Structure 1
Amino acid sequence: MYRLREERADERGQVGIGTLIVFIAMVLVAAIAAGVLINTAGFLQNSAEATGQESSDSTTNRVQVVSATGSHFSDNEVGVVRLTIKKAPGSGNVDLGQATVQWVGPSGSYYQLAESGASGSPDGRFGVSEVQDDDSSLPVLDSTEDRFTITLDIGSRDVVTDGNQFGEELAEGETATVRITTTSGATTIERIVVPKTLSGGSAVAV
């Protein structure tokens, strides 16, 4: 009888050790799972914040066109278009040296980069000059007071100091679309409309 009770005590001890091992294993698994969940949650949070910031930048870090003029008339055609721009309300700093300009006109679509700006193989390069720049930040728009001019030299008959030539001149009554895209992906679209009659003066609003 004594031997039987001893065997049962041993069995209970073995069951207790087995239960303890299972418990420890469950704790370890739970700890590992919690660590994975915390890391995943942190990763998702960081990704969401980055995506939100990119989305915000793509809608806020943009420019606003103050005025658009055409000049260098030849055979009743506009050979140079100048866009005076500023930071849009709520926008951060905008580096025009890294911006892109797409010109879509009667002669086709042309991809533009800033003169002495971003590297690449564009169809042409646009010039950037200051109208108002109190802190000499050109080509970066870093103040609401900054006013810069983008110069687009269209056609092959006129040569200006800013940028280089591309495409063809705009005739009377013709239209074109200019898309200015900043490094954050924000796009500003400006429609260029040449008056039906070009006469007198050296420049005209377009």
Structure 2
Amino acid sequence: MKILRTLLTATALAAVAVLATAEDFSRTLTVSGSTNVSVSTGSGYVKVVPGSNSEVRIVGHVRAGSGGWFAGNADERIRQIAANPPIVQSGSSITIGQTQGNNDLYRNIVIDYDINVPTATTLRANSGSGSVMIGGIMGAVTANTGSGDVQVSNIGSDAKLETGSGSIRADGIHGSATLQTGSGDIELRQSAAGDVRAQTGSGSLRIHGFNGGLRAGTGSGDIEIDGTPSSDWKL
């Protein structure tokens, strides 16, 4: 009887966790001139693609993390975040993500972001644990995640891409780039000349269509490079 009661209790708690609230929010901000966007999420994905040249549109998906019923009043906090999302605008500079000083509100909360920005935006995107996906942004792009993949396509020069544990896929980099992962593969396809630095602690390194100076290495993995050296290459 005691075992049955324990099983029923565990089942009920699991059901409560499954039924936890999930909320979405949407905000559209007007911008002009040079636009700077910084987005950060503790646990969730970040996806950024082009939209209107006069607007930044942010859609957030808020849900409870994997802590289940130990997360406390997750439903209430999810509704609170969706009603007043962590977005700050100062002219054409926009900061999206958790702000300092209210960590309890975001405890065990996951926020995924789908964002549309002007093509020429200068972008910083960060996830503590999740993937970062960026396409079609011609401003300088900095993207990093603690554990997750970084995927970019058709982006401008001066890209800086980093993950602690995950792969980096970069297709159509219009110039120079720095790519680094602690453990994972790196694959880069360059579409305009520029210097590249690429390093993985454990994984394969593949660079295609390369034209520029190169510093590349892997602790353990294959290296495959094709292109035109216009300055020094160092492997």
TM-score band by shorter chain is: under 0.3
TM-score scaled by structure 1?
A: 0.27
Structure number having the greater strand percentage: 2
Larger Rg: 1
Which structure has the highest helix share of the two? 1
Question: Which has the higher relative contact order, 1 or 2, with Cα contacts under 8 A spaced 6 or more apart?
Answer: 1
